[in-house]
Amino acid sequence: MENIKSVKAGQRPIKKCTVCKEVKELSEFYKDKSRKDGLQYSCKSCESKAHKKKYAENEEVRERKSAYAKKRRAELDEAGKEKIAEQQRQHHLYKRYGLTIEQYDEMHNKQGGKCAICKGVDTRGPSFKLSIDHCHDSGNIRGLLCGNCNRALGLLGDTAEGVKKAYLYLRKPPVIAMTK
């Protein structure tokens, strides 16, 4: 393989960038199937600098990209925006919690669309969904909470002990406030 240094067992293969002349690990080069070694000649950092320079110097490229972006925004009607928002929500639910939208909706329906603690709806408004409360150690999902209850649990350390301490404090404060 061209320009790739052979290394001893246990070491990572390296390659020299033809632009900055630095020797770098292969992960620092973009793939290029047309090249003998399957990698671009210049490293990712040099490629990035070259693209930024080309973009800054070439007004035609900037105008073409700007016109394309304006056209795409205009094409994106409300239905398109809602579809993208739903796709982003689906991706977030699955990536973060391993849930499908159907599973979230089932939990939401089982709770009657209300917070599992205060039984209220999310105070941020109707466009907001209830937050997924989960154990940060095990990842197990406990239920759906409104924004205020979710933040409160987080501020109390997400532990029963933290909630118990707050409860005991409210029941019997150490100092009784002076009344007016």
What are the structural domain ranges in the chain?
A: 14-75, 100-169
Look at residue 7 in the predicted model and tell me its pLDDT: 52
Segment 89-99 shows an average pLDDT of: 88
Q: Please tell me the distance from the alpha carbon of residue 90 to that of residue 97, in angstroms, as a whole number.
A: 10
Segment 48-68 shows an average pLDDT of: 86
Look at residue 73 in the predicted model and tell me its pLDDT: 76
Segment 102-126 shows an average pLDDT of: 84
Segment 137-149 shows an average pLDDT of: 88
Identity of the residue numbered 34: S
Burial annotation 125-163 (CB, 10 A radius, 16+ → b, else e) = eeeeebbbbbeeeeeebebbbbebbbebbeebebeeeee
If phi > 0 it is left, if psi is from -120 to 50 it is alpha, else beta; for residue 32 that is: beta
pTM: 0.51
The CATH number of the structural domain formed by 100-169 is 3.40.1800.10
Identity of the residue numbered 13: P
Say which range, 70-74, 86-90, 122-126, has the weakest mean pLDDT.
122-126
Position 121 pLDDT exceeds 60: yes
Q: Please tell me the distance from the alpha carbon of residue 3 to that of residue 39, in angstroms, as a whole number.
A: 10
Segment 61-85 shows an average pLDDT of: 79
- Tens of pLDDT, residue by residue over 4-50, are 555 555 667 889 999 999 999 999 999 988 888 889 999 999 999 99
Among 166, 161, 159, 104, CA closest to 137: 159
Q: What are phi and psi of 14, to 5 degrees?
A: -130, 165
